[in-house]
Amino acid sequence: MLTLAEANQVVQGALARAKELNIKISVAVCDAGGRLVAFNRMDGALWAGAYGSQGKAIASAAFARPSGELQERAGTPIIQGIAAAEGGHMIPSQGAVPIIRNGVVDGACGVGGGTAQQDEDCARAGVAKL
């Protein structure tokens, strides 16, 4: 189970990487069920990144893989059907990575605000703090 303290560690790691890259991001950490545990939006970050970061984290947790791996199949009936059943919040686009410990998905970290690759780099840096 992902604790609040752990989720906040992930957030801080992602924010630190964003500062190194000189970008402004929003970072969301969700639990295995896609529910938000921790969130931060840097001063000056676009408001849309708040939704993007959460949506990518939800997709990553749901499929136990980086959200970018879902991008090619985003328009397929299975991804569309699951997204619709989930409530339409997930975003199958690059920028989030799952938190997997002992073979079990504990959640995911999603980032929005940079390029797709920068977002994923920040998310990976955050998860690496665990």
**Per-residue model confidence as pLDDT tens digits over 98-128:** 999 999 999 999 999 999 999 999 999 999 9
Range of the domain at 58: 4-127
User: Which CATH number fits the domain that encloses residue 48?
Assistant: 3.30.450.150
Buried b or exposed e, range 60-81, using 16+ CB within 10 angstroms: bbbbebbbbebbeeeeeeebee
Q: Work out how many domains the chain is built from and give that number.
A: 1
Spacing of C-alpha 110 from chain mean position = 1
**Per-residue model confidence as pLDDT tens digits over 53-72:** 999 999 999 999 999 999 99
Tokens of 4: 């609040």
**Per-residue model confidence as pLDDT tens digits over 3-48:** 999 999 999 999 999 999 999 999 999 999 999 999 999 999 999 9
Measured distance CA(44)–CA(36) in Å, rounded: 22
By DSSP bridging, strand 104-112 and strand 36-41 are unpaired
